[in-house]
Amino acid sequence: MKKLIKWILGIGSIFLCIVLAIGLIYGTKGYFLYQGVIKDNPLSQLVEGIESKQHYTPYEELPEFYIHAVVAVEDHRFQQHHGVDPIAICRAAWNDIKTLSFAEGGSTITQQLAKNLYFTQEKKLERKFAEIFVAFDLERNYTKKEILSLYVNTIYFGNGCYGIYDAAQKYFGKSPKELTPYESAMLAGIPNAPSAYSPSDNPELAEQRLRQVLKRMEACGVITKTEITNILEESPH
């Protein structure tokens, strides 16, 4: 038994050393990548450019239901973390190890915003570390409300729609502040897979995704089963 315990501890120590070495190597590469993009395009300038756009929708004009829906499906610990969610990262890493892929990233809303501002969808470890450094900058310099509004004004909703204003106009012919709970939940679910969940292209899949959003909101304690039933009654189908 003692030999088995020693063997397990030995394997664990080797694995930990490998993980730390990989983290050091790619973390360093990521830091230099971060330094480069920040130097070429200062964060404050990018943010000012986004906020100055004609149809930029500030936090105060976002429906409360939409805000709750986005946080529930994208990053339910958004208010608690400082840019990175260690719990989500560990869960994603474990799932990635089991599937031998990088299918999950454990990204917070802040990290996703960092990626939208500076990086591509390319799944490289150095890019992931660089994204984390930008996320820390965002959290240091902007409030949670500012980060969330920047996020929903830059994400892709399919059909050429970037940002919540264009999406609300395209799919429902109204401004974001006029969205109903049903419409808000629908839009909150689209960015996960814009082509698949587009209400105009795939209404059935969009409806399924909407139900997932509502279930997630219920699991987070934001709404009740009764409220879900009432919201689904809005469905045009």
DSSP code for 190: G
- Number of continuous H segments (helices) and E segments (strands) in the chain: 11, 0
Domain boundaries, the chain: 1-57+81-143, 155-237
pLDDT value at position 120? Answer: 80
User: CB of 158 within 8 A of CB of 197?
Assistant: yes
pLDDT digits (tens, 9 = 90+) for 55-95: 999 999 999 999 999 999 999 999 999 999 887 666 655 44
pTM: 0.86
pLDDT value at position 104? Answer: 47
- DSSP string for residues in 142-187: S-HHHHHHHHHTTSB-STT-BSHHHHHHHHHSS-GGG--HHHHHHH
pLDDT digits (tens, 9 = 90+) for 90-130: 665 544 444 444 444 568 999 999 999 999 877 788 899 99
CATH homologous superfamily of domain 155-237?
Biosynthetic peptidoglycan transglycosylase-like (1.10.3810.10)
Work out the pLDDT band at 176, boundaries 50, 70, 90.
Answer: very high
Q: Which of 204, 202, 160, 179 is nearest to 69 (CA)?
A: 179
pLDDT value at position 36? Answer: 92
